[in-house]
Amino acid sequence: MLDYIALGILIFAAITVFYGIIVIHDIPYDIAEKRRHPHADAIHVAGWISLLTLHIIWPFLWIWATLYREDRGWGFNKHAGVVQPEPETDKDSTTDASIAELKAQMSKLSVQVAQLQQTVNQSAGDEG
């Protein structure tokens, strides 16, 4: 009778270890899914491959999965995706200054266009 109980405990332990290894190898994939990692599928496949490599690459998969965060991308910069609010300014004066700047740029461009037209006309006159 004790032989059957020991056999049952041995089978239960083997199944528990087998499924435990599978669950542990999916941890990097779960992390990648939670962080919406762009390489989540590759991490999942590499986790299964790590079973064949005797778990040598598994710690690197964990690191790979934790390097990416949706809010700040790759790396550790905490302020990468944060948009800083613009300081309050007088919008009318800013708009007027922008319009004046654009008008100045347009007048410079019109002078340059006129110079280019003269150059083209002179080149055409020299050839003909």
Cβ-proximal residues to 36 (8 Å cutoff; 6+ apart), any chain? 70
Residue 4 in domain: yes
Same domain assignment for residues 71 and 105:
no
The tokens of 44 are what?
């999942």
Residue 64 in domain: yes
| Prediction pTM value | 0.53
Residue 84 in domain: no
How confident is the model at residue 88, as a pLDDT?
Answer: 59
How confident is the model at residue 62, as a pLDDT?
Answer: 94
Residue 81 in domain: no
Same domain assignment for residues 108 and 61:
no
Residue 38 in domain: yes
How confident is the model at residue 79, as a pLDDT?
Answer: 58
Short-list 51, 45, 49, 43, CA closest to 20: 51
Residue 18 in domain: yes
| Dihedral (Cα; 43, 64, 39, 57), 10-degree rounding | -30
Same domain assignment for residues 98 and 67:
no
Same domain assignment for residues 10 and 52:
yes
How confident is the model at residue 126, as a pLDDT?
Answer: 78
Residue 35 Cα distances to 4, 28, 74, 123, angstroms: 46, 11, 11, 62
Same domain assignment for residues 69 and 105:
no
Averaged pLDDT, groups of 10, the chain, 128 residues long: 95 96 91 94 94 90 91 70 55 79 91 91 79
Distance CA(91)–CA(53), nearest Å, equals 63
Same domain assignment for residues 67 and 98:
no
What amino acid occupies position 125?
G
Cβ-proximal residues to 65 (8 Å cutoff; 6+ apart), any chain? 28, 29, 31, 32, 35, 37, 40, 43
How confident is the model at residue 69, as a pLDDT?
Answer: 87
Same domain assignment for residues 57 and 117:
no
How confident is the model at residue 73, as a pLDDT?
Answer: 83
Number of domains in the chain: 2
How confident is the model at residue 128, as a pLDDT?
Answer: 60
- Domain carrying residue 106: 93-128
